[in-house]
Chain A
Amino acid sequence: MKRLPFLLILLIAAVSACARASDAPASDDVNITLQLLPEPAVVGEATVIVTLADAVGNPIEDATVHVKGDMNHAGMVPVLAEADQGLGGMYEMPFEWTMGGSWIVTVEATLADGTTATRRFDVSVGMPASQ
């Protein structure tokens, strides 16, 4: 009985050292960058431009790109966008920042060969000047 707390602490420490596969970083072979219009971001309609390039800098034009914008608080509807044609490796999508605050934008690119690459970006969204 006296050992139980120590065993529990050991168990929790062991669990905390684990991370599941879903948390894996983006593939090293794909370079993902994100550009926002307008910059800096403000609440309202916007455009996101995702640029994909391979390890040596050649643009990747035939991928499917999913963009998901989440607030840093659970329970807010995410903003989604998708594009499957990227001239010069640039995938342009209409987007909407629905609230001010800290956003996490997840870009997931599925390449023609079925492999995926993911990268997350922290974005701070301000209120429009009129508010």
Chain B
Amino acid sequence: MVAPTVPPAASPLPRTDILRWSVLGRLLRARRGRLLFQLLLLLWAALVIYDGLTGPQLAPENLATVSVWLHYRGLVVLLLLLAGNFFCMACPFTLPRTLAPRLSEAGWRWPRALRNKWTAVATFVLLLLIYEWFDLWASAWLTAWLTVAYFAAAFILEALFRESAFCKYVCPLGTFNFLGAAISPSQITVHSRDVCRTCPGKECVNGSAEVVGCGTLLFPPQMSSNMDCVFCLDCARACPYDNVALTPRSPLAELVDPASWPLRWDLGLLALVFAFSALGNAFGMVPPFYALLEALGRLPAGVRLLAIFGSLELLLPAFAGLGAAALGRALAATREPLRHTFARYAPTVLPLAFAIWLAHYGFHFATGALAIVPALHAFLLDHGLPLAGRPDWTLSALLPFSWLLPLQMAATLVGLGGSLYVLERRTRSAVPAAKARGAQLPWAVLWLLVALAAVYLFTLPMEMRGTSFFN
């Protein structure tokens, strides 16, 4: 049993509690509320697996490729931006935990050495590499098997370990959502810390006979960020005092607070990897990437991809971050540990990083959201439903194409502004005003370069070419 302490002050107490709204609040807090959302996504996942394995193996005509690579990714970024981490809430991969609490409480604790984000850094980059290597966007069959692999991995880890180790330490999709939720406009908190201080059972994290506690072992009065929160709301259901709240907040509230994230190497690197992977993922679709691939000669495709994306998404953020931290420390003439400097300023990239992901995934969603209509039409016709007419394969775009580049530029610019604002606020709270410019200069230059790289990539003609050994 976990016996956490209540800090004297964490995130501000809520003025609005979404969980107390009449319809939405009741639905979210209902005992089977999460299950309802999970079943909807389970149905989606079942369709992905079924059509991916048995349907037409042409990406634009298959529900697996259309709904995963256009709709899932597009809706995730939009929901994170506008609401919160509700895709983790509705995640069907963790259904075993919702349906069989005993299964997840009988296991071991996750190994202490792995209770950090190093594994998440590795799985996040690995998934992006697999995406490029196997051309996942082009293969309905592999998309289906990826979904099956997700179910298997989540089930095995949920069964073996007591806490939700899969969500907290392993899942690359959850990692994406945790990082994106840093700029989400909602967060879990409590109405009264005194209630938590005197609570004997701490059911929100320990659970009770009827309700499981927080799978990722978060204690609501201690929460100062959305990191590791899957919005399952088990804490709200378990609290015997109805003291847990889901409250709206400013999208930058978490990041301007320098105490919201612990000053750890792994967290700082994760934020940087998130940013540089946004560039890397967009880079994989433009002509210079294919030119670079050719320039690497006759090496196996996997080795060339590993060299490119390993450098771009892992080595470059690590060295750029360390360089900025060392330079900023020197310019500000501070003697604090390099880890502190690195971990304080690296997360300030998140507004910009999220904006680049939004611009990229939003582009695909905007150009292809309606493609689901003919794909579904064809699916239903294939299964004997008497629908009129043939699928209209020209249905595709949600927005005029001419709007997209300006929208991508605007998103990047707003993201850069957000990152510079957060950087300014964090600097002011950490170093004297006279040293602030020196401390933040390397980071500001780095974020500017990242933004310029994104703008450059978005202006290049897109070229989607298979690179895998399947070709």
Which of B49, B138, B369: most chain A Cβ within 10 A?
A: B138
Tell me the complex Cα distance, A114–B367, Å.
Answer: 35
On chain B, the residues within 8 Å of A12 by CB distance are 49, 53, 148
Tell whether B466 is near chain A: CB-to-CB under 8 Å.
Answer: yes
CB distance from A109 to the nearest CB of B (A): 16
On chain A, the residues within 8 Å of B461 by CB distance are 43, 99-100, 127, 131
The stretch of B22-30, B59-67, B222-230, B313-321 that contacts the partner chain: B59-67
| B60 pairs with A70, CB closer than 8 A | yes
In the complex, what residue of chain B is closest to A124 when comparing beta carbons?
B465
Tell me the complex Cα distance, A62–B367, Å.
Answer: 37
On chain B, the residues within 8 Å of A20 by CB distance are 54-56, 382
In the complex, what residue of chain B is closest to A71 when comparing beta carbons?
B464
Tell whether B248 is near chain A: CB-to-CB under 8 Å.
Answer: no
On chain A, the residues within 8 Å of B368 by CB distance are 74-76
| A74 pairs with B60, CB closer than 8 A | yes
On chain B, the residues within 8 Å of A43 by CB distance are 461
On chain B, the residues within 8 Å of A106 by CB distance are 58
Q: Which of A18, A23, A73, A78 is in CB contact (< 8 Å) with B394?
A: A78
| A76 pairs with B56, CB closer than 8 A | no
Q: Which of A22, A72, A99 is in CB contact (< 8 Å) with B55?
A: A22
| B463 pairs with A18, CB closer than 8 A | no
Q: Which chain B residues numbered 144 to 169 have a C-beta less than 8 Å away from chain A?
A: 144, 148, 152, 155
In the complex, what residue of chain A is closest to B365 when comparing beta carbons?
A75
Tell me the complex Cα distance, A19–B471, Å.
Answer: 21
CB distance from B10 to the nearest CB of A (A): 40
Tell whether B79 is near chain A: CB-to-CB under 8 Å.
Answer: no
| A22 pairs with B378, CB closer than 8 A | yes
Residue-wise interface mask of B (375-396) relative to A, using a CB-CB cutoff of 8 A (1 in contact, 0 not): 1001000100000000001101
Tell whether A59 is near chain B: CB-to-CB under 8 Å.
Answer: no
On chain A, the residues within 8 Å of B144 by CB distance are 16
CB distance from A88 to the nearest CB of B (A): 29
Which of B61, B66, B148: most chain A Cβ within 10 A?
A: B61
| A104 pairs with B148, CB closer than 8 A | no
| Known A99-B462, A99-B464; further 11 A-B contacts with Cβ < 8 A | A16-B54, A71-B464, A72-B466, A73-B137, A73-B364, A74-B59, A74-B375, A75-B66, A75-B396, A78-B60, A101-B462
Name 8 interchain pairs, CB-CB below 8 A, sorted by A.
Answer: A1-B100, A73-B138, A73-B464, A75-B369, A76-B368, A100-B461, A102-B466, A127-B461
